[in-house]
Amino acid sequence: MDGAVSADHAEARVPAGLVHDPGEVLRARFLLLHPAQHRYCLHRAAQPGVDVSMPAGLVYEVNLEVEDAVAAEYRDWLRGHVAEILALPGFLGATLSEVLDPAPPAGFAGLCVQYRLENEAAYATYLRDHAPRMRADGQARFGGRFRASRRVLHPFEER
């Protein structure tokens, strides 16, 4: 589309049937409004095709051990839970993974979610305003059938 087209006019020209994804809009909006905070090139490896760069911001990691008996149902619920979190201000994206090593205890599935956030303030807002409700939802649905541990990571800064 032409860069000189107004937002209203451009929106009217979008083909019918496209689904509005709030998470994608928030991520794209952040990239447009805060490009200096979204640096990827901290270091380039000498080997072609290998990218060891990291985005600025924060990584909030949740490691889960889920009883095998409810693991499929938990995975289904987790996808929606992650989507709900990604709609919150300050969340830029997430990666859901199955943990292979170290292997989870017998009878459990290991899962990991790594959320990317704009900054520490976004994380503090999440903890204060949203985390208690969202964590309670998982407890209400699955009770003691899973364990969660969390950590917060900050990518290396370019020096």
CA angle 72, 20, 55 (to 5 degrees): 75
57 class by beta-carbon count within 10 Å (0-12 exposed, 13-18 middle, 19+ buried):
buried
The predicted structure's pLDDT at residue 54: 56
Contact (Cβ atoms closer than 8 angstroms) between residue 94 and residue 117: no
pLDDT of residue 18: 54
pLDDT digits (tens, 9 = 90+) for 101-133: 999 999 999 999 999 999 999 999 999 999 999
Q: CA separation (Å) from 39 to 60, 140, 159?
A: 18, 39, 13
State pLDDT tens for residues 35-80.
444 433 333 344 555 545 555 689 999 999 999 999 999 999 999 9
Higher pLDDT, 119 or 15: 119
Which domains does the chain carry? 20-159 (3.30.70.100)
The overall pTM is greater than 0.75: no
